[in-house]
Amino acid sequence: MVPFNLQLELTNKLTALSVEQLDQVSDPLGFMRYQVRTFNHHAVMYVNIEKDPLEPDDVTGFTEDEVFSPDEVKSIAAAIREYNSSHQLDFDQMHFDF
């Protein structure tokens, strides 16, 4: 998949992230994997990408390693959800290349 760039504040510093979607569709719980890279760190994050709007405190995401703090993961997950909704991406569709 094609990476996209996000810029947000993490630990009081403006941070540029490169994010690449790793899955074509979400799992049964609504989570999708993303490869997240900064200058010094990278991690695979699982982000809830359900269509329903969520309150900021309800946005969920997690990573299997400890590269980002839980608060940073929530901020990154919220930014990914915002990016997806601003580009009107529809994850219910599947595209096949033959």
How high is the mean pLDDT in each 10-residue block of the chain (98 residues)? 87 91 88 89 88 75 82 89 73 50
- Name 24's Cβ contacts closer than 8 Å, sequence gap at least 6: 94, 95
Q: Under a CB-based contact definition with an 8 Å cutoff, are residues 31 and 47 in contact?
A: yes
- Name 68's Cβ contacts closer than 8 Å, sequence gap at least 6: 10, 36, 41, 43, 45, 76
pTM tops 0.75, yes or no: yes
Q: Quick one: pLDDT at residue 85?
A: 79
Q: Quick one: pLDDT at residue 90?
A: 53
Closest CA to 81 of 59, 63, 62, 57: 59
- DSSP helix/strand/coil, 75: helix
